[in-house]
Amino acid sequence: MPPSVDPKKPPQTLMQGNVAVAEAAIRVGCRFFGGYPITPSSEVMMRIAQLLRENNGTFIQMEDEIASICAVIGASWSGAKAMTATSGPGFSLMQEGLGYAYFTETPLVLVDVQRAGPATGQATHVAQGDVMQFKYGSHGDYYPIALAPWSVQELYDLTIRSFNLAEKYRVPVFLATDEAIGHARENIEIYEEFEIVDRVREGEGMPFGHDAPDGVPVMPAFGDGASLMVTGSTHNPQGFRKVDDPDVHNNLVTRLMRKTMDHVDDIVETEEYFLDDAEIAFFAFGISARTAVAAVRRLREKGVKAGLLRTRTLWPFPEKQITEVGKQVRALIVPELNKGMMASVARGYSQAPVHQINKTNGYVLEPEELIEYVEEELS
Amino acid sequence: MTDQKKTQSNGKYQVLIAGEAGQGVIIQGIILAESAVASGAWVTQSARYGAAMRGGVATSDVVISNQPIDFPEVEKPDYMIAISQLTYDKFAVGKREARVVVYDPFFVKPVELEGVTQVGVAATDTAIKVFGGAQASNLIMLAGLAEVTGLVSTKDMIEAIDRNLSKKFRENNIRALEIGKEMAQEAGKGA
Amino acid sequence: MSRAMEKYLREGLAGTAFCPGCGHGILLGAVLRAVDRIGVKKEDLLFVSGIGCAAWIPSPNIGTDTLHTLHGRAVAFATGAKLANPKLKTIVVSGDGDLTSIGGNHLIHAARRNVDLTVICADNQIYGMTGGQTASTTPVGAKSSTDPGGNIYRPFDLCKLVSAAGARYTARYPVTQPRKLIDAIEKALRQDGFTFVDAVSPCPTQFGRRNQMANLKKLYSTVESLCVTPAEAEAMDEETRLHHFAIGEFVA
């Protein structure tokens, strides 16, 4: 989907990451944004407020993040591609609505520009501390999709992909970015031609059921004459509440999880750098992967056989890819801006010992910190 | 002076612009980054600052390269603009990484730094005198840096101004660039 | 319910979940009659509700599009749905605890924005579904499962609250006066902008039983006896006023 960029021809546009999200969203067809101001995500809202006005869409600044996510869900059921953007404290407030969106199979995109937490923390400083909240933020069993861009260009690319996955699988999709990338300005190619996926509004079958155990049901909108019954209570394929039927509940929870888990190969995207002959490998996402790729190049110059597995998908977790790399290297190193969230998951799949490099002072990891770790701990 | 111009062989230049929040550190970074994009380079610009709109250390990083940029922030600045004593002391003197430091004597009393080219550009004083306000000092400083380092051309900077700043002030902005360039040339003669 | 309203009921219903004597069945009938008068096509009607007994008035009973949401959030969901498709006639029906306690902020902000919604509060002055706990509308002195000695805090005057926040129309009527209630809902539906009807709908199971009104006749006649005009209410001292229902239109 993203155009292959010629290293000799830097794109002639400089853009801030958060702005790139808004530009991509409008081009993939987003026509509703409900949000609440929060640093460091507010530029997404400010830019898309303008773009929606120019493109016959709807922008509304709600009274809080709880209302924002609810308005987005309502708009999605009215047929609009809808999104919101927030950061840690707002993301916490949205968890109730996100569970609802997941359970009612409502497509939407949420951009989380991660900042240093817990609580108010440091609003203007970077972190990658929401890794687990993407996966487990709401109550109950569910398996959401979270994409992890590492550049301004990828904020554009993966915003498009987030909408496409949301529409394809009828799920909320998280764009898991961070302050460093959201606020960075970089060269960007704003391309207009790309694949756009739209939900299936007309067709056979019930709106909340599917013959296939991992199937995505048809999703009529309000006003289409489908007499929809949308509910966050356990419901049968037609939408009737079934709050006492064990089979209906179990079947629903299971199908919803399988929608994601049975399509991991379609959803998960990773990239490999210098892994062919690597003896040690980094596993990283987002801004920390930028640090890692710089560290790997410098380690190679020093003769260290280092490589990088970079994931563009936080959830579903790239289990297969980690397992493969874990068979090959003598150490897997996970640098991240939290106390070891990704590392703890990677340990479940990597045969090689998993080392972790963590930074939680509100600044990004620098390449030399990774190099130092390798030289001191792994040489 | 010429020996300070783009002589690094790896084609990557790291610029640190350091001052206090509210001083225009970020807009300087953006104009420099836009100028570099106009010149056909790979560029990243980022900033570090606190939650307050005024006061506290604010820095803007600009990395300019002939290759796609792996790590987007400044690790060791080649060039620095210093517009507060605190950040001059911390980065120019303390870390002592930048080979060229362009400072505004209105805010910074420089000390002798061996091996570092230091160029004073009286941007704030001049901006107030010529334009009646300190705002134009941002462009005067940038033009000074551009003159000393050759990082970007005046033409690239004008393109960046056209892309980012109000047309209403275009003439004044271009005049500010000229002033910065002249001041850096003068300071260079004295150095 | 007369057969005339059956066209609005969802196919496949096996009856409602309301307790015998619950006011919500009467309110459902009133809502449908008012809706029938305004003549909006069924596919253009959207009913949104929160959580609780009252949220089950439209969902699943009404055979239009229904959105049964989260506790307190109905108005926020409705705002998004309405703005994304303005041709939807969007009606929120939910309870007093849902709309005015956990959802109070959404309610006043929707009124402030004058979003084109009609909100009907099924006001039973208690948390029914969760077991009779005190609500933000429970009268002072009334007993509940969390205030067995009687509630000590003042209730909201919902019409005043929503009127002050900017609603275009507000009214209060009990289900014991169904004709006036239907007229008020109709008026609310015809008025552009944010409109609000506080429909007093007694709960025999959780409120009546605890307050010596288990007998339905006593419960309903008590509600009726407490109804006063807004002018009469204003003439009362605060304590007396809070034990009565000022009925009528407040913003019209």
User: pLDDT tens digit string along B125-139?
Assistant: 999 999 999 999 999
pLDDT of residue A130: 98
pLDDT at C82 over 60: yes
Do A279 and A329 touch, CB atoms closer than 8 A?
yes
Three-state DSSP class for A213?
A: coil
Neighbours of B99 (CB within 10 A): 17
What are residue A185's DSSP bridge partners? A16, B45
Q: Does C10 touch chain A (CB under 8 A)?
A: yes
Per-residue DSSP letter, C78:
H
Measured in angstroms, the CA of B14 and the nearest CA of chain A are apart by 14
pLDDT of residue B56: 81
pLDDT of residue B8: 47
pLDDT of residue C3: 82
A55-68 burial, b at 16+ Cβ within 10 Å, e below that, comes to eebbbbebbbbbbb
Q: Does A293 lie in the same domain as A168?
A: no
Average pLDDT over residues C152-168: 97
pLDDT at B9 over 70: no
Location of structure tokens 């009214």: C171
Sign of the four-CA dihedral C37, C39, C43, C48 = negative
Three-state DSSP class for C92?
A: strand
Query: Which domain-ending residue is among A141, A166, A188?
Result: A188
Interface of A with B in 211-240 (CB under 8 A): none
pLDDT of residue A5: 73
> Which CATH number characterizes residue C85's domain?
3.40.50.970
Sign of the four-CA dihedral B147, B153, B158, B159 = negative
Q: Does A280 lie in the same domain as A140?
A: no
H helix runs in A12-151, sequence order: 17-28, 42-54, 65-77, 88-103, 131-136
The per-residue pLDDT string of chain A (379 residues; one tens digit each, 9 = 90 and over) reads 345 578 889 999 999 999 999 999 999 999 999 999 999 999 999 999 999 999 999 999 999 999 999 999 999 999 999 999 999 999 999 999 999 999 999 999 999 999 999 999 999 999 999 999 999 999 999 999 999 999 999 999 999 999 999 999 999 999 999 999 999 999 999 999 999 999 999 999 999 999 899 999 999 999 999 999 999 999 999 999 999 999 999 999 999 999 999 999 999 999 999 999 999 999 999 999 999 999 999 999 999 999 999 999 999 999 999 999 999 999 999 999 999 999 999 999 999 999 999 999 999 999 999 999 999 999 8
- Please count the CA atoms within 13 angstroms of the CA of A15 that sit on its side-chain side: 24
Query: Which domain-ending residue is among A171, A188, A205?
Result: A188
A221-242: per-residue pLDDT in tens? 999 999 999 999 999 999 999 9
Three-state DSSP class for B171?
A: helix
Please give the structure tokens belonging to residue A87.
């950061």
> Which CATH number characterizes residue A160's domain?
3.40.50.970
Average pLDDT over residues C77-90: 98
> Which chains have at least 3 CB atom pairs separated by less than 8 Å from chain B?
A
Q: Does A294 touch chain B (CB under 8 A)?
A: yes
Q: Which of A200-204, A368-372, B47-51, B99-103 is least confident?
A: B47-51
Q: Does C130 touch chain A (CB under 8 A)?
A: no
Do C115 and C79 touch, CB atoms closer than 8 A?
yes
The Cα A255–Cα B165 span in angstroms is 53
pLDDT of residue B191: 52
pLDDT of residue A166: 98
Q: Does A183 touch chain B (CB under 8 A)?
A: yes
> Which CATH number characterizes residue A367's domain?
3.40.50.920
In a domain, residue C63? The reply is: yes
pLDDT of residue A3: 52
pLDDT of residue B185: 94
Residues of A in contact with B37 (CB under 8 A): 10, 12-14, 187
In a domain, residue C32? The reply is: yes
ipTM given for this complex: 0.97
> Regarding beta strands A331-336 and A354-358, do their DSSP bridges make them parallel or antiparallel, or are they unpaired?
parallel
Q: Does A224 touch chain C (CB under 8 A)?
A: yes
Per-residue DSSP letter, B61:
E
The Cα B11–Cα B63 span in angstroms is 11
Do A32 and A72 touch, CB atoms closer than 8 A?
yes
Q: Does A303 touch chain C (CB under 8 A)?
A: no
Q: Which is higher by pLDDT, B188 or B122?
A: B122
Tally of structural domains, chain A = 2
Instruction: Flag if A221 and C105 touch (Cβ within 8 Å).
Output: no
Residue of A nearest to C111 (CA): A63
pLDDT at B54 over 70: no
Residues of A in contact with B50 (CB under 8 A): 124
Interface residue ranges in chain B relative to chain A, Cβ cutoff 8 Å: 30, 33-34, 37-38, 40-51, 67-73, 75
In a domain, residue A110? The reply is: yes
Q: Does A279 lie in the same domain as A149?
A: no
The domain limits of chain B are 11-190
Instruction: Flag if C105 and A97 touch (Cβ within 8 Å).
Output: no
First vs last C-alpha separation in chain C: 29
Q: Residue A96 is part of which domain span?
A: 13-188
Residue of A nearest to B38 (CA): A12
Three-state DSSP class for B45?
A: strand
What are residue A186's DSSP bridge partners? A15, B44
pLDDT of residue B1: 39
Q: How confident is residue B81, by pLDDT bands cut at 50, 70 and 90? A: very high
Location of structure tokens 């969760």: C130
Do B89 and B77 touch, CB atoms closer than 8 A?
no
Q: Does A46 lie in the same domain as A180?
A: yes
Three-state DSSP class for C122?
A: strand
Residues of C in contact with A233 (CB under 8 A): 68
> Regarding beta strands A108-116 and A172-178, do their DSSP bridges make them parallel or antiparallel, or are they unpaired?
parallel
Average pLDDT over residues C116-128: 98
CATH number of B11-190, picked from 3.90.470.20, 3.40.920.10, 1.10.10.10, 3.40.50.300: 3.40.920.10
Burial class (CB in 10 A: 0-12, 13-18, 19+), A276: exposed
Q: Does A159 lie in the same domain as A280?
A: no
Residues of A in contact with B49 (CB under 8 A): 124
pLDDT of residue C14: 83
In a domain, residue C10? The reply is: no
Do C28 and C61 touch, CB atoms closer than 8 A?
yes
pLDDT at B190 over 60: no
Instruction: Flag if A185 and B33 touch (Cβ within 8 Å).
Output: yes
Q: Does A97 touch chain C (CB under 8 A)?
A: yes
pLDDT at C140 over 50: yes
Residue of A nearest to B35 (CA): A14
Per-residue DSSP letter, B25:
H
The whole-model pTM stands at: 0.96
Query: Which domain-ending residue is among A145, A172, A188?
Result: A188
In a domain, residue A219? The reply is: no
In a domain, residue C46? The reply is: yes
Residues of B in contact with A183 (CB under 8 A): 46-47
Tally of structural domains, chain C = 1
Average pLDDT over residues C116-136: 97
Is the previous residue joined to A40 through a cis bond, with omega within 30 degrees of 0? Answer: yes
pLDDT of residue A259: 96
Longest C-alpha distance within chain B, in Å? 43
Residue of B nearest to A182 (CA): B46
